[in-house]
Amino acid sequence: MSVLVTGGAGYIGSHCCVTFLEAGHDVVVLDNLSNSSAESLTRVAELTGRSVHFEQCDIRDRAHVETILRKHSCESVVHFAGLKAVGESVEDPLRYYENNVGGTVQLLSAMQACNVKTIIFSSSATVYGEPQSLPLREDHPTAPLNPYGESKLMVEQILKDLKTSDPEWRIAILRYFNPTGAHASGLIGEDPRGVPNNLMPFISQVASGRREVLSIFGDDYPTEDGTGVRDYIHVVDLVEGHLKAHEALIKPSEQLQANTSECLTVNLGTGTGYSVQEMVRAFERASNRAVATQIAPRRAGDSAEVYASTQKASDVLDWTAGRGLQDMCHDTWNWVCKNPKGYDDSAE
């Protein structure tokens, strides 16, 4: 009995492998390595003392996915595989719909053919769009602002329709806020290709001297210091939320059993927002390095303030994020110091 982790060589997926292996699950990773390196899985094995079965495969290749599900007797799937760059999704929407939506349809079809009907899906707080009320609750209206967010919402709808058509499916939709940090060992972490789009990888590359200056996108938002506020969540807390969701699907509580007609849709965030300036200061403290900043215009599509309601995750999954901002910054810095070029270092 194994758990199939699609996108398991990537940032969140590799941390998920560690948590699931440590919890005693057998893990099979399916990844096409389009945005990752198999070195992450070597590190996962090193960390856990357990092997990970790796299958290089594209989720759009339904026949291959079926073969893998059967070969390893998979009983559930944690589905991370997908493209995630917001700007790129605006420039090339078809690629995003084809990979994220089309790919997920192929994956679900393969699962159905193999009678594997338990899945956890990586959704995103981006499905809410511009917040109308804070903290964002799961019943907040959805209105994505870009094709990436639309692709996540489309998959959510497909999963809901699938559950309606066949209540045997057990489905968790997890809406992540802003994942950051790295495993405390510094062996695995986020390894973005090219110029990072996201704040924390950019800050850490300025601190390490790889980039000169962080552009702060707007200092005139209606927030305490004028810079954008987000709900940053430590990646290890995030994947522990997946383990809880997996347990809830496999052994549903009475409360969940009463709701078996629905997908389990839950936010994974901390409920606390930090501004860009606060993040910079926290990173400077953790790294003991200065981070040069300059004020730049607002980035199109950004909201002033985004943070989660964590009530449902606490009530239904019995999960709350335990790690704080210092852990996120410290663990990111530890990873960057040990792997200044990301996973490429080990190739040299």
Instruction: Give the residue numbers marked as catalytic.
Output: 148
Q: Compute the least distance from the CB of residue 9 to ligand NAD, in Å.
A: 4
CA–CA distance, 51 with 74 (Å, rounded to integer): 16
CA–CA distance, 242 with 238 (Å, rounded to integer): 7
Nearest CB to ligand UFG, comparing residues 10 and 75: 10
Q: Compute the least distance from the CB of residue 235 to ligand UFG, in Å.
A: 13
169 makes contact with ligand UFG (CB under 6 A): no
For the window 113-152, what string marks contact with ligand NAD as x by the rule CB under 6 A? ---------x-x----------------------------
The option from ligand NAD, ligand UFG, none interacting with 197 (CB < 5 to 8 A, set by class) reads ligand UFG
CA–CA distance, 244 with 242 (Å, rounded to integer): 5
Peptide linkage before 135 cis (omega within 30 of 0) = yes
The option from ligand UFG, ligand NAD, none interacting with 202 (CB < 5 to 8 A, set by class) reads ligand UFG
The option from ligand NAD, ligand UFG, none interacting with 13 (CB < 5 to 8 A, set by class) reads ligand NAD
CA–CA distance, 323 with 328 (Å, rounded to integer): 7
Q: Compute the least distance from the CB of residue 228 to ligand NAD, in Å.
A: 15
Nearest CB to ligand NAD, comparing residues 101 and 316: 101
| 64-83: contacts with ligand NAD (CB under 6 A) | 80-83
Question: What would you report as the CA-atom Rg of the chain, rounded to the nearest whole angstrom?
Answer: 19
For the window 148-187, what string marks contact with ligand NAD as x by the rule CB under 6 A? ----------------------------x--x--------
Using CB under 6 A, which of 215, 259, 311, 346 touches ligand UFG? Answer: 215
The option from ligand NAD, ligand UFG, none interacting with 86 (CB < 5 to 8 A, set by class) reads ligand UFG
In this structure, the number of other CB atoms found within 10 A of the CB of residue 177 comes to 26
- Judge whether 129 and 86 are in contact, CB under 8 Å: no
- Judge whether 255 and 337 are in contact, CB under 8 Å: no
Instruction: Annotate 235-264 with b (16+ C-beta within 10 A) or e (fewer).
Output: bbbbbbbbbbbbebbeeeeeebeeeeeebb
CA–CA distance, 224 with 222 (Å, rounded to integer): 7
Instruction: Enter the DSSP assignment of 305.
Output: B
54 makes contact with ligand NAD (CB under 6 A): no
Which part of the chain contacts ligand NAD (CB under 6 A), choosing from 29-37, 110-118, 259-267, 336-344?
Answer: 29-37
Nearest CB to ligand NAD, comparing residues 209 and 339: 339
Both tokens assigned to 296? 């730049």
32 makes contact with ligand NAD (CB under 6 A): yes
The option from ligand NAD, ligand UFG, none interacting with 59 (CB < 5 to 8 A, set by class) reads ligand NAD
268 makes contact with ligand NAD (CB under 6 A): no
- Beta strands at 214-217 and 26-31: parallel, antiparallel or unpaired: unpaired
Burial class (CB in 10 A: 0-12, 13-18, 19+), 233: buried
Using CB under 6 A, which of 99, 309, 334, 339 touches ligand NAD? Answer: 99
Q: How far from 74 is each of 10, 26, 250, 287, CA to CA, in Å?
A: 20, 9, 13, 42
The option from ligand NAD, ligand UFG, none interacting with 230 (CB < 5 to 8 A, set by class) reads ligand UFG
List, in order, residues 6 or more apart from 254 with CB less than 8 Å away: none
Identify residue 147 by its one-letter amino acid code: P
Task: Using CB under 6 A, list all residues that contact ligand NAD.
Answer: 7, 9-13, 31-36, 58-60, 80-84, 99, 103, 122, 124, 176, 179
Task: Using CB under 6 A, list all residues that contact ligand UFG.
Answer: 84, 86, 124-126, 177-178, 197-199, 202, 214-217, 228, 230, 276, 299, 302, 306
